[in-house]
Structure 1
């Protein structure tokens, strides 16, 4: 085999010539995945994509406003069955179920963005400082993180909702109540991950070289260490996003959520439909509950798939099972078969 053929069979050369968009997050993992893992990732991405697009275009998709009770023909009427002008029926309060479900995606997405962004910002900063500086500060932060991690998310969310808005809140207060409670609980998760990565990375040769040439501590932390310590954040982000939706729904179901005239929220709609179930009115609870299940399922599938693809053992096994592994190993096999027992070429 010529050197040209060997070079063309080198996986590194393929990676070097691959388009840049192949290395984007999620796209890279999607190209890596095979079989069931690829199916799970694709299904999760489709569901999550529909959820995000619905939240963005909710004003165009929803037939009515989230607090609208009437149109040009008069009041909608309470507990109207699906059909006609109300495809999914109406609630006990007289709201259109389809519109409430669609507008609820905006509230859920807002809580995810606010909560996870705040958690990442605080957790990454504390983990970086704790892991790199060490000493008594590291010990104190670890103890505090372990203590906060022991609090139940929903219980802390209820306390935050009462403190911020007295239990019943407008859109901003309800989103902040859920987001702040989730932020406090999720900070220790990001703190632990970033701290462990920082402790490992600060002993690497390039960090020691930066110290030798006189780089400042802040430059080393934020330019060299931080860049390499945040590679696993997308995995935690996806898994925590589903928990954020469940926490918001739990607040609304227990009566500590957002007022229906301020925003649509799936947990509140489920709370109001409890008495409908015993009366045979199924549509007021089915569709908000189905929305929660599907969104959480989609985000969880993405998170679990990315988590599995990040496992080196699974990645090695996939390479060994991949049909492209045979051509790469072919040059070594050919060279071995062309050599006699004395080691001289045939």
Structure 2
């Protein structure tokens, strides 16, 4: 009496959780090897930079423009000690406090510049790519012309126009953010425009037009949602350039006044004479803050850019599939007297092949 063997039922694929579908978490799960190490290191450094900027009032032992406490004045160019862990500057400010408060200034410039650049770049890129014609040609020429100007030169001109060179906190932030925005707009414009030109020729866009959907709804609901997938990569790469532009403004003397906010480039400018005198702490720690913040953001951006490549992104999956195939593969059967070929060879066929090979050699 034969018993029927029931085949196991295939289980339905389980939908990934909301946490695993988050942008950075998803890329972290896809990364492997050196990619994962770079991404993790960049995330750790960037998280430290962001947390320092957010909790600067709690972490800084003194104010960014504080020159004295209850015991008296701090003193200029004091070496690191228990009262001032990183020493004091030539102006008598606490170095550690200036470095911590400077992260907040840099974070504000990044946020203002990136938000303004994304809004304007996406807007003109969407209009240019969707409508085309003379509007597209004019916007392309204008953006190419703007992109040809150096970002630091635009930052200096914006600082002079807005605040006359020296400015308060928000004046300096707007001066740096405006110059960065002008330079970053062409980058977002190019990316969004190319995606819009590709998407507007799809069948679902033609179907929306046929049923009478307004242009604004098509642009916002259908085109825009499918043309901004690569923007997070550009944001991370441009954030590091925003930090460098702000530091360049401060170093050249067009940044924020020390009594209005702390800025790393300004502190580096004032520490130039200290280096030749053997006073190293006034320049080391602001410069190290610039390097670490830019390095962390750049590592995140480069890692996300590599993971956006399907060939690199599927490397981990290919290894898993190769491992399963190797475990389930079966070696080809060997026949006594047979010839090792890709196909199964019988003994009689092997002897005929040997005879033919002997005649060819003779």
Q: Give the TM-score normalised by structure 1.
A: 0.91
Shift of the alpha carbon at 1:17?
2.1
Change in CA separation of 1:277 and 1:209 when aligned onto 2, cut-off 3 Å = same
What is the match of residue 188 of structure 2? 190
Q: Which has the higher helix share?
A: 1
What is the match of residue 9 of structure 2? 4
What is the match of residue 282 of structure 1? 280
Q: Distance in 2 between matches of 1:330 and 1:133?
A: 55
Q: Deviations over 1:109-145 (max 9, x none)?
A: 0000000100000000100110010000000000001
What is the match of residue 314 of structure 1? 312
Give the gaps of 5 or more residues in structure 1.
342-346
Task: Indicate whether 1:40 and 2:45 are aligned.
Answer: no
Shift of the alpha carbon at 1:315?
1.9
Q: Distance in 1 between matches of 2:253 and 2:204?
A: 53
Give the gaps of 5 or more residues in structure 2.
1-5, 334-342, 345-362
Q: Distance in 2 between matches of 1:230 and 1:170?
A: 35
1:247 to 220, 235, 245: 245
Q: Distance in 1 between matches of 2:42 and 2:106?
A: 17
Change in CA separation of 1:58 and 1:3 when aligned onto 2, cut-off 3 Å = same
What is the match of residue 263 of structure 2? 265
2:93 to 92, 95, 113: 95
Q: Distance in 2 between matches of 1:87 and 1:143?
A: 53
What is the match of residue 129 of structure 1? 127
What is the match of residue 209 of structure 1? 207
Q: Deviations over 1:57-109 (max 9, x none)?
A: 00000000000000000000000000120000000000000000000011000
Q: Distance in 2 between matches of 1:112 and 1:138?
A: 29
Shift of the alpha carbon at 1:3?
6.0
Q: Distance in 2 between matches of 1:217 and 1:3?
A: 51
Shift of the alpha carbon at 1:214?
1.2
SS at match of 1:88: coil
Q: Deviations over 1:173-226 (max 9, x none)?
A: 000000000000000000000000000111112111111221111100000010
Change in CA separation of 1:136 and 1:107 when aligned onto 2, cut-off 3 Å = same
Q: Distance in 1 between matches of 2:243 and 2:220?
A: 31
Q: Give the TM-score normalised by structure 2.
A: 0.87
Shift of the alpha carbon at 1:326?
3.7
Shift of the alpha carbon at 1:330?
7.7
Aligned length: 329
Q: Distance in 1 between matches of 2:326 and 2:200?
A: 36
Bigger Rg, structure 1 or 2: 2
Change in CA separation of 1:327 and 1:82 when aligned onto 2, cut-off 3 Å = same
Q: Deviations over 1:14-42 (max 9, x none)?
A: xx521111111111000000110000000
